[in-house]
Amino acid sequence: MFVEVVTRDISELNLPKNTSISFPNGKDDLMSFEIVIRPDEGYYMSGSFGFTFQVSPSYPHEPPKVKCKTKVYHPNIDLEGNVCLNILREDWKPVLNINTVIYGLNLLFTQPNDEDPLNHEAAAVLRDNPKMFEANVRRAMAGGYVGQHYFPRCA
């Protein structure tokens, strides 16, 4: 049953123009795929951010597991790649789908949320000093240190 749901969700994807999808294990494995988001506005413009999706047999009753493969300075993504997006946790409902999650991830790059952070340090800088936050994002995306953490180039 859930394979049909995933197959339908994948076939009905309406990806934003700045987002691409790939299937590293081949088109036969729809349960594991990757997307790349290249924001075209905001703090993260011109960056390239990869995410892995693992869809469990409980889908659509539980959300896909999503990890960010790109180390990024972001209030809602920690340095281990965990993503803080409400629809991946308490706000998930079976009527939501993979497309909804992809749009939610895109929204994190255009509207980072300092009120529900995983990276509290980045959230505090975004809240208290947006200009410094922007400088930190640029430094991280260019490949450099922000505080004690090195970020590989992703822009």
Distance CA 42, CA 54 (A): 28
> Helix, strand, or coil here: 63?
coil
User: Which of these, 127, 40, 131, 144, lies nearest to 75 by C-alpha position?
Assistant: 127
Please give the structure tokens belonging to residue 20: 């691409």
147: left (phi over 0), alpha (psi -120 to 50) or beta: left
Give the strand pairing for 149-151 and 144-146. Answer: antiparallel
Residue with tokens 């909804």: 100
**Does the active-site annotation cover 84?**
yes
Residue with tokens 């990276």: 119
Could you tell me if 42 and 109 are in contact, meaning their C-beta atoms sit under 8 angstroms apart? yes
Q: Give residue 54's identity as a one-letter amino acid code.
A: Q
Among 31, 83, 84, 88, which one carries the catalytic annotation?
Answer: 84
Residues labelled as active-site residues: 84
